[in-house]
Structure 1
């Protein structure tokens, strides 16, 4: 029988400051923060918590069933013990969750890959088990005396979102069981299910086959190589046929191998992206650092010219097709998207810290500064800076506009220094 130690505890070293990045990159980390932000009554405390977490003021985080604990330092150096409580699952809820997980092999594989697929959470909810917290589930306790979420407990929650990004088993621990117990219990239940499905001795072969219980399992997936393969060299003594450029063919074969490797990786993760257009594919090829002749042909074929292609390649390297769309498209934000964008901008800074922004479509330019924020259709913010009169990407996307703007300002400062 698996032992469930209620005193199990993990301590995570203090994380570095979060400058230039958001607090939650995964969808489950974002749900965790939504539970905090929807519950807290004082938005000023949330902003204070974000500032403290960004500054690296949250010490080592202790995670145990039902409770998170950390020491958080104010700007004046005063230290406070902050706790956040979350109800643990009952034994019956754990049984339902683990039985459901065993029945769906993909859920086990995802957890082992440190991912939490939406279907796992949805299937758990269907069994009456809420894995992720909802409104009012994150209960704060702090020695500063604030009865609601204060800046210290908010900062702890923001750091917890970063920990959840790295390992969703941390959520299972705070819900009551650590990784070792969960995996041992899953293995035990899987073994019991397998032993109970064997066909009884003496059953007719046709009946047993029709039952499907003794069919052999699927073969193991092939191992994806770490790097794409290297195409054969076309450098031979035989002269090429008229109109054939061996160097261009070698480059195209190498990029095709790289794209095939990426598509296989996406297939393993179950997350195919949309097919790039011809113009986008030209940028993808140019991002492979072709020689000058091939790069010139791609610049002409893409219709961007050499400078425009260089800017597009920079965007591609920051975020692929999504980043390229943000570079190329200026669109009018309406309805719910506009409301979400405005709410994000309002909550990102204190009123006296918010920079003056001039809006045009999905682009917000800081008045009097060579930096800009662009709002993507997926709700993320992309940093841009002005370079030789042209707006160029300055970093990867962020969920938080203040984080994106910090990246743009940093890039603009580095560019000015050069």
Structure 2
């Protein structure tokens, strides 16, 4: 396929002449199936065509950028995501030297790089130096762990569209894929720029007080550097030379959900990118909970009164492990027994299925929900008895064992928690009450396989309704 997918460059997210648009031209030029491109684009944009993903915030999650590649996990119809990847060639040492020398010879452009910006103007500069900075259609090679052998499959296409948005947000990612980190590029531009200074050149005239006269025409020639200091350093020194500070802006509104982490590069000797993304995602969840004064053991969906709860309570190692498994975007889901999930369970000496069941209980009600799973207890007279009566009044027959009410004909159960809420459970063994022979009274028994399912509620009828068992 030599054309581009409809609307790929016309979208506001990828205006013509942008990093993202250039990437999409190359990706779509390398594709052989427009139908897979369309499906991949829907995967990459969860708000488009009603697409939703298991990750809850888009099909493409936790992208990782390294030398010569970008990869991510893409959620499809299965619970486990697929590993999609795009590979591209890196620039040779000769090409990097030619490109950065051309940049350093242009002071305004070099100053932008040293200030942390990467303007699109570097593309024609690289081209003038004989270096093709942007990839072409023949440079990109897709790969995916799914059984589809399309070129690309919809999962790799989703990653490709997500990479286009990523490049518009942080074009330095492209240089990393081409073989150099942002720090290495800036260091080389600084070295080459300093080397371009002519020590024998006439120093600028000074006004009274020894202040150099400002050159006309802006930053030209060696004016990028003040002595041997980059222009960015000089500007920062001037900005902090006064104690006058403008008033702080108003705080940003609290986001609806904690954002997923950004891109962590794969660099030699650096920490594992997946581990960094895991810790950053957890830090985002905890930060949002702290701002909203909602305990991290809950989903933080509804802000509560500040001071009502400790948003960051002290947790045991087991409780904190369960919290991680329950709240991390890459670990949520019933019985999601990935390699990372299994490793998390082994770190506390537990079975992965045991951790998955505990995580489901934590999502119902934090530590209170986990306590309901782990131990039965005898509730005092009051709310528990009123709940039983309400169910009986609706003709719902339930057997009782301590704080547990089990339906007589259906594989559902309600458990009364110490927090006064009702927690719904479902038997995943596939056997009915008659087959269980009454051994369902033990939540950890061999005959029944009770799993926390659905939200807890203060009313038992509402909790049961959440399971669709009215």
Q: What is the TM-score with the length of structure 2 in the denominator?
A: 0.37
Q: Which has the higher helix share?
A: 1
Which of these two proteins has the greater Rg computed from alpha carbons? Answer: 2
Say which structure, 1 or 2, has more relative contact order (CA 8 Å, 6+ apart): 1
What TM-score do the two structures reach when normalised by structure 1?
0.42
